[in-house]
Amino acid sequence: MTREEFADVVLSFPGAAEGTSYGQPSFKVRDRFFTRVRSEDASAVLSCVPADEREFLIEADPATFHVTPHYKDYPIVLARLQALGADQARGYLERQWRKLATRAMIRDWEAAPGS
């Protein structure tokens, strides 16, 4: 997927908006970090991925998933955009979105057709 396609997926979540985090372009929900694409390697930062799941993903699909020393102590996996599918991205992003969204946002999301 391209950066633009990834941005389209990210911005499809209610309340998602472009912003900055630590001086880098990112996406936020309710002014809190949602995700970003690392300029160093065109990888998406996907939160809410526990270490055991992250290790499984990296072992099963190292062309897509990886981690850097900076993220090793956090529940985060990095995913190379060129190998990441839109549905895959949406699934991981939904985990983080649900942590950031209000109960009303989640209720509306779940009530919407096609959610």
81-110 pLDDT per residue, tens: 999 999 999 999 999 999 999 999 999 999
CATH number for the domain including 14? 3.90.1150.30
Domain count, the chain: 1
The residue among 113 and 68 whose pLDDT is bigger is 68
Decide if 112 is inside a domain: no
Quote the pLDDT of residue 115: 62
Alpha helices in 2-50 (DSSP H): 3-11
Decide if 99 is inside a domain: yes
Residues of 3-37 as b/e, b for ≥16 C-beta within 10 angstroms?
Answer: eeebbebbeebebbeebeeeeeebbbbeeebbbbb
Decide if 72 is inside a domain: yes
Quote the pLDDT of residue 15: 96
Q: pLDDT per residue over 32-86, tens digit each? A: 999 999 999 999 999 999 999 999 999 999 999 999 999 999 999 999 999 999 9
Decide if 111 is inside a domain: no
The residue among 6 and 24 whose pLDDT is bigger is 6
Q: Hey, is 9 helix, strand or coil?
A: helix
For residue 81, what are the domain limits? 3-105
